[in-house]
Amino acid sequence: MSFSMFGKISYISETKVSDFIKHLENNKIMATRCKRCGKLYFPPRADCPYDLSSDMVWEELSGKCKLITYTTLYFAPSGFEDDIPYTIAVAQLEEGVTVYARLSKEIKDDEIQVGMDLKLVPVHLPNGRISYELKKP
Amino acid sequence: MSTRVAVVGVGQTPFTRNCGMSIRELCFEAFKDAVEDINLTPREIDASIVCSAPEYDKQRSPSSLISEYLGLTPKPTFYAESLCSSSTTGFRIAYSFIKSGLHDVVAVIGFQKMSELSSAEVQERMGRGADIQWETPFGSMMPAGYALYARAHMQKYGTTEEQLAKVRVKSGKYSVLNPLAMFQRVLTLEECLSARVISSPLKLFDCCANADGASCVILASEEKARKITDTPVWVAGVGSATDTLSTTGRTNFTGLTCAVEAARQAYKMAGIGPDDVDVAEVHDCFTIAEIMAYENLGFCKPGEGGKLIEESQTYIGGKIPVNVDGGLLSKGHPIGATGGSQIRTIVLQLQGEAGKVQVDGAEIGLVHNVGGVGVYANVIILRR
């Protein structure tokens, strides 16, 4: 599957980290780690700017994370109108990296609390598209 | 010895919707406003820097078009872009041109004609202000970016929706004294609080609006400045910094790290501290942005921005008057023109020409202009 299938609308089709989608289809959320300096990257990067190395290894994330901040949108950019309202959140994974994703609609408004435990999981979208979202653990 | 640099002229068009002019004509109006009352002819301008956010332009390479229309050819012209802070980025480049001795008089022209695109085209572009590979696919947009900061600020410091609304109430109060503002309207706290939610906790009046408009700032070396005007305003400090475009690259969601760094540089260069500033223009694209600016510029401690507006300390007569021209919230936000408009407000204050919103005895003024959701920050300190 091409990276162009990532998320509801993708503006990117070619990327050196397109294997991310293959892993996502296999129910795995992967980060990359620089073999030279050991830094973990999520969203995954193909290149480490600190030592100019592209020698990276894929590494699975546990998905365990905590909510840092969130917002519920009642007004959306073109192409997302039929999702309104939807909640975008930032969460910190236990591995130390940060994720920007939608909060599952299963979580009710009055249940959302900054600091709450969440789990980052792959999710299948309509039309064969694929993404990840934040759910209750 | 390198020269001091002064602002010798400022100009601005009204900020409106559907301005009825092409971009070259918009820029001409701001340019004329800046140049007509000073002793300077366009032929004496050595270089120009044109600033806008190109995703809203139909014209490719607008600097060439604007330079021609203003009669500035064959002098060099340059194009500067850093989203909403484009014209203060142009200002920084102009400052360095003069400081280096390369040019003596430089015009910075900022513009945006956001009504040139259809609403659908504008909506489509709004989503692409974030990292298009990892964030845009989730339905991101500008208000959501600042809303993430608002939520985190409220959570950490207990900042309230009432305090956010009070920033807009202040903006409304001063907007009716600014004939160039798009919204000249007093708003009550209740109107602000009962408005529809755009991206929680931000509601309609917590957000600025797209507009058409242009601004112009003319800078000159000390020797030239003395000949051009009797009231030069000196550039005392400039600071500039960036943060990651991606939200996931950030570690702090309660303040704009790039603004803190830009302010540190500007204060250091000017040899002053926050308490020395008499009047400030801050980038209030959203109400939370103004509250964070109070803190990031050192007008209060981190977390006390809500209290500062609650106590009306940023009104004229308070500890530090902020955005007494109505700010972006009331003026409207024609992206490339905004920084120049902020500089114009501070220059008029320091020249004693600010009319009904004059801060008595203002000697030192500050401009804080931010591009994107805290991606680019420029802080400029001006002195009478």
Please write the tens of the pLDDT for every residue from B208-234. 999 999 999 999 999 999 999 999 999
User: How many whole angstroms separate alpha carbon B344 and alpha carbon B266?
Assistant: 18
For residue B48, being part of any structural domain is answered with yes
Q: What is the pLDDT of residue B296?
A: 98
Facing A71 at nearest CB: one of B120, B147, B249: B147
Its pTM surpasses 0.80: yes
Do A81 and A8 meet the contact criterion of CB atoms below 8 Å apart? no
Helix (H, G, I), strand (E, B) or coil at A75: coil
Query: How many domains does chain A contain in total?
Result: 1
For residue B175, being part of any structural domain is answered with no
Residue where the block lists tokens 């920050």: B377
Segment B135-157 shows an average pLDDT of 96
Closest approach of chain B CAs to the CA of A11, in angstroms? 6
Within 8 A by CB and 6+ apart from B323, the residues are: B170, B171, B174, B280, B281, B282, B284, B290, B314, B329
Query: What does the mean pLDDT of chain B come to?
Result: 96
Note whether B203 contacts A: Cβ–Cβ < 8 A: no
At B40-80, the pLDDT tens digits run 999 999 999 999 998 888 899 999 999 999 999 999 999 99
At A34-78, the pLDDT tens digits run 999 999 999 999 999 999 999 999 999 999 999 999 999 999 998
Query: What does the mean pLDDT of chain A come to?
Result: 96
For residue B179, being part of any structural domain is answered with no
- Residues on chain B touching A77 (C-beta within 8 angstroms): 123-124, 126-127, 139-141
Q: Which among B132, B309, B373, B329 has a CA at the least distance from the CA of B211?
A: B329
Segment A109-131 shows an average pLDDT of 96
For residue B322, being part of any structural domain is answered with no
Of all residues in chain B, the percent with pLDDT exceeding 70 is 100
Helix (H) or strand (E) holding B344: helix B338-350
Q: What is the pLDDT of residue B128?
A: 86
Within 8 A by CB and 6+ apart from B39, the residues are: B227, B228, B229
User: How many whole angstroms separate alpha carbon B217 and alpha carbon B339?
Assistant: 10
User: Is the predicted pLDDT of residue A31 greater than 90, yes or no?
Assistant: yes
Closest approach of chain A CAs to the CA of B236, in angstroms? 35
On whether ipTM exceeds 0.85, the answer is yes
Q: What is the pLDDT of residue B122?
A: 80
Segment A19-45 shows an average pLDDT of 97
User: Is the predicted pLDDT of residue B337 greater than 80, yes or no?
Assistant: yes
Helix (H, G, I), strand (E, B) or coil at B207: strand
Q: Which of residues 49-88 of A touch B (CB under 8 A)?
A: 68-80, 83, 86, 88
Supply φ then ψ for residue B354, to 5 degrees. -90, 5
User: Is the predicted pLDDT of residue B313 greater than 70, yes or no?
Assistant: yes
Closest approach of chain B CAs to the CA of A52, in angstroms? 18
Q: What is the pLDDT of residue B46?
A: 98
Strands B105-113 vs B364-371: parallel, antiparallel or unpaired: unpaired
Q: Which of B119, B132, B133, B254 would best serve as a mutation to test chain A binding (most A beta carbons within 10 A)?
A: B133
Closest CA in chain A for residue B152: A69
Q: What is the pLDDT of residue B260?
A: 98
User: Is the predicted pLDDT of residue B23 greater than 80, yes or no?
Assistant: yes
Q: Which among B353, B358, B347 has a CA at the least distance from the CA of B383?
A: B347
A:B CB pairs within 8 Å: 112
- Residues on chain A touching B199 (C-beta within 8 angstroms): 71-75
Segment B236-262 shows an average pLDDT of 97
CATH of the domain at A91: 2.40.50.840
Bridge partners, B138 (sequence order):
none
Bridge partners, B364 (sequence order):
B383
Helix (H, G, I), strand (E, B) or coil at A53: strand
User: How many whole angstroms separate alpha carbon A134 and alpha carbon A92?
Assistant: 11
Q: Give how far Cα A62 sits from Cα of A38, A59, B1, Å.
A: 18, 10, 60
CATH of the domain at B64: 3.40.47.10
Peptide bond into A43 cis (omega under 30): yes
User: Is the predicted pLDDT of residue A30 greater than 70, yes or no?
Assistant: yes
Q: What is the pLDDT of residue B58?
A: 86
* Confidence category of residue B126, pLDDT binned at 50, 70, 90: confident
Note whether B158 contacts A: Cβ–Cβ < 8 A: no
User: Is the predicted pLDDT of residue B123 greater than 90, yes or no?
Assistant: no
User: Is the predicted pLDDT of residue B326 greater than 90, yes or no?
Assistant: yes
Residues of B assigned a catalytic role: 84, 333
Closest CA in chain A for residue B156: A114
Domain hosting residue A71, numbered range: 3-135
Q: What is the pLDDT of residue A41?
A: 98
- Residues on chain A touching B139 (C-beta within 8 angstroms): 8, 73, 76-77, 80, 83, 86, 88, 102
Note whether A90 contacts B: Cβ–Cβ < 8 A: yes
Q: Do B136 and A9 touch (CB under 8 A)?
A: yes
User: Is the predicted pLDDT of residue B238 greater than 80, yes or no?
Assistant: yes
User: Is the predicted pLDDT of residue B349 greater than 70, yes or no?
Assistant: yes
User: Is the predicted pLDDT of residue B262 greater than 70, yes or no?
Assistant: yes
For residue B102, being part of any structural domain is answered with yes
Query: How many domains does chain B contain in total?
Result: 1
At B182-194, the pLDDT tens digits run 999 999 999 999 9
Domain hosting residue B62, numbered range: 5-118+210-228
Bridge partners, A99 (sequence order):
A91
Q: What is the pLDDT of residue B125?
A: 84
* Confidence category of residue B1, pLDDT binned at 50, 70, 90: low
* Confidence category of residue B201, pLDDT binned at 50, 70, 90: very high
Closest approach of chain B CAs to the CA of A75, in angstroms? 6
At B66-122, the pLDDT tens digits run 999 999 999 999 999 999 999 999 999 999 999 999 999 999 999 999 988 877 788
Q: What is the pLDDT of residue B281?
A: 98
